[in-house]
C-alpha cells in the first residue's frame, strides 16, 4: 500500500522529508529493542513478575517511524501501547521496567497501573486506560503552545476502537474549528479488543472521518517505515504552517493479545494471524537493509543479542531496586500538608516501626 497524503509541501524544519538510508539501521535497532522488550514483558507477566502489560508486536514500524518524524520539543499523548514511541523519545529501558514493576525507581511512585507511564522531561504524557481522553488534552496543549508562540505540535495516539468514543469526536471537532497544530495518529490494528474493524464503523476508512471536521485524513501502510515517516512529516509541516490538524490512519495488525488479560484465539482465526505475520514490519525492514547492504545476517543476529542483553541487564537492576516506600502516599497531595495528613503520616511511621506494614 502506498502512502497517500492529501497536501504537499516542504518539511518545516531541518528534519529530512524522508528517511535517509544511513538512519535506517538505527531505526531498525529501536524496532528490534521494542520487539525484544515486548516479548520479555509478556513473559514477565505470565510469570507473575509484573501485574499487567499491553503488547505492541506488529506495530513497531508505525510507532518508531512516526516518533522519528517528530521534533524532541513536540508533546506526545499516548494511549497505552506506545512502547516504541517511548524508546524513540529516549526513555530508558530500566525506567520503564521500574514502572511496570512498581518499585522505588518508578517516578510515579506506584500510583499508576503497570504499562501506564509518562515522563515530563521526555514530553511523554502519562497514559490513561479510558480510551480517547488524551485526544482533547493534546488539542488543548497544542492551542496553548500556539498562544505562547512555541513552534511545536502535539500528537495523540489511539486505536481504531477509540474512533467510536465521545472524546474522539469532541477533540477532532474542536481541533478542526480552531485549526490546532495537532496530529491524530490512529493505529488501526483491525481489532478493538474482540470487536473487528468492520463492526466498528460503516465508514470505508477511519481517516475519512476527518473530512467532517474540516481537515485532511490520510491512510498509510503502517508496516512501511518510509510511508509512515513521510506522512507524519507532512502533517507536522501543515500543523506548524497554521494549516491545521491531520488524522493519520496507519493500517497495522496486532499480532499479540490486546493485553495480558486477553485471549485473541477466542475471536480471530489462525489463518488471519498467519496472513499478517507475512507482513511483519521488522522482517520487512530487515529485508530492505539486507538489500541495501546495510546489514548482514551475522550483524543482524548481533542486533538481537544486544537488545536481549540490554533488556536483561535493565530487568536485573529493576528487580533489585527497593519497593516503593509506603509513606510516599502522603507526598504530592497538598503543597503544605494538612494537620490530618501529618497525623496519618505519623500513624504510618508507627506501623512501619512495629512491623505491621512492610516497605
Active-site amino acid positions: 254, 258, 267
Reduced to 3 states (helix: H, G, I; strand: E, B; else coil), residue 194 is: coil
Reduced to 3 states (helix: H, G, I; strand: E, B; else coil), residue 3 is: coil
Q: Could you tell me where the beta strands, DSSP code E, fall in 74-149?
A: 75-77
**Residue 299 neighbours by CB under 8 Å, 6+ apart:** none
Bridge partners of residue 219, in order along the sequence: 4, 249
**Residue 49 neighbours by CB under 8 Å, 6+ apart:** 101, 319
Residue 260: other Cβ atoms inside 10 A:
20
Q: Could you tell me where the beta strands, DSSP code E, fall in the chain?
A: 75-77, 154-159, 182-188, 191-192, 195-196, 217-221, 246-251
Q: What is the CA radius of gyration of the chain?
A: 21
Amino acid at each position: 500500500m502506498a502512502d497517500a497524503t492529501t497536501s504537499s509541501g516542504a518539511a518545516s524544519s531541518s528534519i529530512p522529508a524522508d528517511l535517509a538510508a544511513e538512519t535506517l539501521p538505527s531505526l531498525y535497532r529501536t524496532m528490534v529493542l521494542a520487539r525484544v522488550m515486548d516479548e520479555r514483558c509478556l513473559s514477565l507477566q505470565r510469570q507473575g513478575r509484573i501485574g499487567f502489560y499491553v503488547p505492541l508486536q506488529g506495530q513497531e514500524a508505525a510507532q518508531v517511524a512516526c516518533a522519528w518524524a517528530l521534533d524532541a520539543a513536540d508533546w506526545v499523548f499516548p494511549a497505552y501501547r506506545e512502547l516504541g514511541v517511548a524508546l524513540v523519545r529516549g526513555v530508558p529501558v530500566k525506567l520503564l521496567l521500574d514502572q511496570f514493576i512498581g518499585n522505588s525507581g518508578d517516578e510515579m511512585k506506584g500510583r499508576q497501573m503497570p504499562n501506564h507511564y509518562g515522563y515530563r522531561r521526555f514530553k511523554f504524557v502519562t497514559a490513561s486506560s479510558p480510551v480517547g481522553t488524551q485526544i482533547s488534552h493534546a488539542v488543548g496543549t497544542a492551542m496553548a503552545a500556539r498562544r505562547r508562540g512555541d513552534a511545536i505540535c502535539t500528537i495523540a495516539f489511539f486505536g481504531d476502537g477509540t474512533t467510536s468514543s465521545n472524546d474522539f469526536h469532541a477533540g477532532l471537532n474542536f481541533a478542526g474549528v480552531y485549526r490546532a497544530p495537532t496530529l491524530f495518529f490512529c493505529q488501526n490494528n483491525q481489532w478493538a479488543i474482540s470487536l473487528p474493524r468492520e463492526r466498528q464503523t460503516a465508514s470505508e476508512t477511519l481517516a475519512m472521518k476527518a473530512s467532517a471536521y474540516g481537515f485532511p485524513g490520510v491512510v498509510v501502510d503502517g508496516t512501511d517505515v518510509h510511508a509512515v515517516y513521510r506522512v507524519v512529516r507532512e502533517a507536522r509541516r501543515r500543523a506548524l504552517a497554521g494549516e491545521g490538524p491531520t488524522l493519520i490512519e496507519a493500517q497495522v495488525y496486532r499480532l499479540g493479545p490486546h493485553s495480558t488479560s486477553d485471549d485473541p484465539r477466542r475471536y480471530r482465526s489462525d489463518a488471519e494471524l498467519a496472513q499478517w505475520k507475512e507482513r511483519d514490519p521488522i522482517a520487512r525492514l530487515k529485508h530492505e537493509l539486507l538489500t541495501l547492504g546495510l546489514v548482514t545476517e551475522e550483524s543482524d543476529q548481533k542486533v538481537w543479542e544486544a537488545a536481549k542483553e540490554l533488556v536483561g541487564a535493565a530487568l536485573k537492576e529493576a528487580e533489585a531496586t527497593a519497593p516503593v516506600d509506603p509513606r510516599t502516599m502522603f507526598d504530592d497531595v497538598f503543597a503544605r500538608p494538612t494537620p490530618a495528613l501529618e497525623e496519618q503520616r505519623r500513624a504510618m511511621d508507627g506501623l512501619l516501626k512495629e512491623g505491621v506494614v512492610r516497605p
